[in-house]
Structure 1
Amino acid sequence: MDNPEEAVIPSLLSSGAQGNTDPSEMEHELHDFRSQWRQELSTRSPRGAEPAKDLQRDSYILEQAKVLFMKGSQLEQSGQLYEAVAFYKRATQLVPDIEFHIDFTSFHNSRERQESESSIGSIDNEELEENLVDYFQNLQLSEDSDNQKFCSPEFQQRVTHISVLPVELLNYVLRWVVSVDLDMKSLENFSLVCRGFYLAARDEGIWRSACQKVWGASTGKCKKYGGWRNMFIQRPHLLFNGCYISKLSYVRPGEKSLDNFYRPYHLVEYYRYARFFPEGIIMIFTSPDDPHSVLPKLQLKSAKDTGMLKGMYKLTGDTVTAVLKRVKTKDQSIPYYKKQQRQRNQNDMEMTYHVELELCNMGRKSSAKLQWVKYAVTTKYLMTGQENTCALLDNKGFPPLLFSRVKSYTSSSETPLL
């Protein structure tokens, strides 16, 4: 209603008609009301006169709600209704009547323009789609871009965004992600975030350092594979962010009953674990315990446990050759002062284990299976110097070792990949 006087006059007239009908008195009451109404308008702040900060905050919230609503509209048109509802809810939480603040005509015009441009570009990019993999492999971070930013935030935020970091600093952070344990799985997960992270994770310097860490002096050149990353993926190599595990079982006959009526048989099951480190260290451990209780023992290179074998390995092609010895642990049964006095006897011996394994693929996982080729033990008697070699592989052979990733092995890094 434009003028409150027009709303009050009928009420005054109606009240006057019911009671006092003196025109002078009605005119006096109307004059008092007008003066009171003008006084209230003069003391009240003008409509819409809000502080500048509140206006900026409201405009920022409105823009955020528009972005969320338009994102939900795009998802709805593409058929992703569940995701669209989530964006709609977030937009209405910020501005309940957000649909009345959006100009849909300009949005549709821009959408049609983008579709027309994409249809024209698709004709020009037919040759690019044929070699799409090579195109992405050859992408590099642009050094001529604005402030050399490799990515930009999707929404405005108060905290500092990662895009303000220089490319060189991000590269150093990724070397900490990979670390000396060669956790390339985490690097690949990092590349799935956005295009800028994808290009940063494809840095040839990181993959070249990883190849040199695996193959050392026999790394060679990457021209044959078309890049260091292709070389690391296609060339057979061991996996270091987990453990190779195999489960073995056999039937052992038990003792006969007193009446010789029956004889029990026992099913014996145990596990064999093989852990490799990029420095050329290998650990093999055999235990009947469940992997959840054994795998933490193999996390560090300095691990020691009763029955553990530790040594060095060498990778040649797809063949792994290793020489191991049993880890010496503290013998609590013999006091320290008697160990010095004990003399060497004929039963003192030293055992050396020779292992040869073959790297194989397991489905789509490359180098995820180790097939046994040779497993022998050489016993040397320290008193006489005599050596005996015995092959431990039977006609059936041992079950292959299958790789299993262990997240705790690469949850933290001590030194970056250099």
Structure 2
Amino acid sequence: MAAPFEEEPPTEDVLNSFRAEWKRELEGSQQRQTSPLNAEEKLEQDKHKKAREYFQEGVKLEQTGKLYDAIKFYKKAEQLVPDIEKEVYQITSVQVNPQKMNLSAQVKNEDENHNPVEDTNQDNDDITNLIEKFNRDVCLDNKPTIQQEFENNNVRHIGSLPAELLNLIFKWVVSADLDFRSLENCSLVCKGFYLAARDQDIWRQICIRAFGKSSLSHNIEGIPWRQWYLSSASIHYNGCYVSKMTYIRQGERGFQDHESYRAWHMVTYYRLIRLFPGGKMLMVLSADDPSLTAKLMNNRNFCSIQGVLYGEYRVVEKKLVCVLHKTAPKKSAPKISRRKRRDSMIYYDVPDQDFLLEFQIKGKNSKLLYWSSYKIINKYSTGRETEEDITLSDQNFPRMQFVKVGSYHFESSAPL
């Protein structure tokens, strides 16, 4: 007998089964292609994670003072990921900043509930409000202004000193020579030092030292003394004002030189002015190196340079007015016998001289002095006085530029 007739499956079912099998094959090939990439990414992620763990462990060791062990972990982290520090900073800043913002908001709300505080709606990092910000942080933390980084009961920390004693220490830092650079460097240490360096009493005494007691009556509006000093100050104390002058002079002809030969020499010399706090000053003319000459001008009462002039100065509306004195040497009259009185020597009257100088203060940060006038007053022993008005020119009297001298504020001789 013939085999029974078998019905063929419908065409649509065959197509559907073919499509499903084809889809499974495609998905399988894609998984086989992506599986090596996923493995490489996983290895890279594990390496970055391990590097972050090494770096954070190094941070913990550094905070506890174990610097040598911390360096080992830092090196391991950098060997795995060279830019690990930037990566850790980005990850931790994204995670920590929202918490800090919420915490600060809670603290502000609590403070407003107990003690209302004005909402200034300004950035806390604004440099103009650092004093207010640091004072607010100290009040909220309820801790000393200067805190220990590591607890050590065997050593007494500077933060435990009373405010009056810390104020005296900073007056020694400023010293009588007004060393502002050292004071500003101290203010960069911590919040407590920043507040101590901005103390009103210190800057009030600085203004008195720089401008005299008359400055107390000038600050009528009650501006903070530091701000008032920075807006009023126009001279510098940690260096000298220097100018260079040159001229040509004819030399003498030697016995071997030809009659038509004439020697000419280029002469160079320097004028240096040193201003001291309190109105004292020095002026020197010297042909030596100005850097060496300036180091000898470190005392307002004594200078070993020959021909140095001592005087006083005042600053009046961007003008520097100076008065320098030169006393004539006193000569003792020799004893003359009666026989030689007729043929006695005649001595000329050498006058005492006062030099009146006036400058215009200009330039960036007020570091340039331009000559305005120069007068010499001769005072004779007979009471006669004469006045000479010197003609000013850019060649003979060029502008004077301020140059810092590091040895001036090397040590403090007296407190503010």
The aligned counterpart of 1:318 is: 318
The one of 74, 85, 97 equivalent to 1:115 is 97
The alpha carbon displacement at 1:290 in A equals 1.4
**1:348 maps onto 2:327 in alignment:** no
Corresponding residue number in structure 2 for 1:299: 298
1:62-211 equivalent positions in 2, closer than 5 A: 69-70=58-59, 89-91=68-70, 113-118=95-100, 127-129=121-123, 132-139=126-133, 141=135, 149-157=144-152, 159-211=155-207
1:306 maps to a residue whose letter is Q
Distance 2:336 2:173 in 1: 48
Answering whether residue 214 of structure 2 is matched by residue 218 of structure 1, we say yes
Distance (whole Å) between structure 1 residues aligned to residue 71 and residue 325 of structure 2:
68
Q: Separation in 2 of the partners of 1:353 and 1:339? A: 35
Distance 1:256 1:144, change over 3 A: same
Whether the 8 Å contact between 2:310 and 2:324 is mirrored in structure 1 is yes
Instruction: Tell me by how many angstroms 1:309 deviates.
Output: 0.9
Q: Tell me: CA distance 1:287–1:92, structure 2 relative to 1, closer, same or farther (3 Å).
A: closer
Deviations for 1:116-138, whole angstroms, at most 9, x for unmatched residues? 22466899999422992331144
Post-superposition offset of 1:161 = 2.6
| Corresponding position of 2:243 | 246
Figure out how many residues of one structure are paired with residues of the other and give that number: 327
CA contact (8 A) 1:149 1:163 kept: yes
Contact preservation (8 Å) 1:281, 1:312: yes
CA distance in 2, matches of 1:269, 1:223: 48
State the identity %.
Answer: 30
In the TM superposition, 1:354-393 aligns within 5 A as 354-362=356-364, 366-383=365-382, 385-391=384-390, 393=392
2:234 aligns with one of 237, 255, 262: 237
Secondary structure of 1:310 counterpart: strand
Task: Using the TM superposition, name which of 123-132 and 400-409 deviates more.
Answer: 123-132
Consecutive unaligned residues in structure 2, runs of 5 or more? 1-53, 78-88, 109-118, 338-343
Question: 1:223 Cα shift?
Answer: 6.2
Rounded Cα–Cα distance in structure 1 between residues aligned with 2:162 and 2:383? 66
Conserved 8 A contact 2:249-2:265: yes
Query: In structure 2, do the counterparts of structure 1 residues 344 and 415 end up closer, same or farther at CA, with 3 Å as the change threshold?
Result: farther
Deviation, 1:93, is 6.7
Equivalent pair of 2:328/2:351 in contact (CA under 8 Å): no
Alpha-carbon displacement from aligned partner over 1:170-225 (angstroms, at most 9, x marks no partner) = 11110111122111121111111222211111111111111122222431354658
> What SS is found at the alignment partner of 1:410?
coil
| CA root-mean-square deviation | 4.3
- Confirm or deny: 8 A CA contact 2:328 2:352 kept in the other structure: no
Gap regions ≥5 residues in structure 1: 1-64, 75-85, 99-106
